């Protein structure tokens, strides 16, 4: 995989602009550093929280939630927006249990709904519409997730999807891995579909934020 595209200096600067987090979230960040677990991190998390506040989101669906770090940002926004539901979906029971512990400690027990499942299938089976759908599953699954997301997101809602720079892999013509191809194909699909207004924002590993017309 290619080197990080965003310099550590810029990345750390953006992370330092994020206001202090509660001790429980700091512990989640420390765990990711220690174990190399791929969470979205403070700058992308805060940006997700900002978008959710700006939209007044009350119904959020996450695909590929890990141990709940990105969920915590959405749950905080939903709580501040007056309450609602954030769906936490991951296919590992262990991660789902860890998320319950962290998110309960953060006071989001009544907001987050947990499901251990393949995430696109869970979205298919869950009644929408949603104000925000956040996608962070294995990258080869991105293209097939788009029709399901388009069906479940409300008009005027936002899709946020992570790792769209794929650590620079998008520029590596010798990389034909399914994950790289998934990122490239998804980017092409969403930026050429007239049903969406989509921008790739180069925070950390690149977030596409797409507004559904």
Q: Site residues (CB under 6 A) for ligand SAM?
A: 38-40, 64-66, 69-70, 90-92, 95, 118-119, 136-138, 141
- Minimum CB separation of residue 83 from ligand SAM in Å reads 22
- Minimum CB separation of residue 48 from ligand SAM in Å reads 9
Among 193, 194, 129, smallest CA distance to 158 is for 129
* Cα-based torsion angle of the residue sequence 197, 198, 203, 204 in order, rounded to the nearest 10 degrees: 150
Q: Rounded to 5 degrees, what are φ and ψ at 132?
A: -140, 135
H or E segment and range at residue 46: helix 41-55
Q: Which is nearer to ligand SAM, 103 or 198 (CB)?
A: 103
Q: Which is nearer to ligand SAM, 118 or 172 (CB)?
A: 118
Q: Which is nearer to ligand SAM, 116 or 200 (CB)?
A: 116
- Minimum CB separation of residue 27 from ligand SAM in Å reads 13
Q: Which of left, alpha, beta for 108 (phi over 0: left; psi -120 to 50: alpha)? A: alpha
- Minimum CB separation of residue 188 from ligand SAM in Å reads 21
Q: Which is nearer to ligand SAM, 39 or 170 (CB)?
A: 39
H or E segment and range at residue 90: strand 85-90
Nearest 5°: the CA angle 73, 101, 68 is 30
């Amino acid at each position: 995989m290619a080197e990080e595209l965003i310099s550590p200096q810029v990345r750390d600067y953006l992370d330092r602009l994020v206001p202090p987090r509660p001790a429980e979230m700091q512990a989640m960040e420390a765990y990711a550093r220690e174990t190399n677990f791929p969470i979205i991190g403070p700058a992308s998390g805060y940006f997700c929280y900002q978008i959710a506040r700006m939209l007044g989101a009350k119904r959020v669906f996450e695909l590929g939630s890990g141990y709940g770090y990105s969920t915590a940002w959405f749950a905080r926004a939903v709580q501040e927006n007056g309450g609602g539901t954030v769906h936490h979906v991951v296919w590992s029971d262990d991660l789902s249990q860890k998320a319950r512990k962290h998110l309960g400690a953060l006071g989001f027990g009544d907001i987050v709904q947990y499901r251990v499942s393949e995430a696109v299938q869970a979205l298919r089976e869950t009644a929408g519409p949603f104000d925000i759908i956040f996608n962070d599953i294995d990258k080869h699954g991105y293209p097939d997730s788009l029709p399901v997301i388009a069906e479940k997101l409300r008009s005027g809602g936002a899709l946020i999807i992570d790792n769209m720079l794929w650590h620079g892999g998008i520029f590596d013509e010798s990389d034909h891995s399914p994950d790289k191809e998934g990122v490239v194909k998804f980017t092409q699909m969403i930026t050429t579909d007239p049903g969406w207004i989509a921008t790739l924002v180069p925070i950390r590993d690149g977030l596409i934020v797409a507004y559904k017309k």
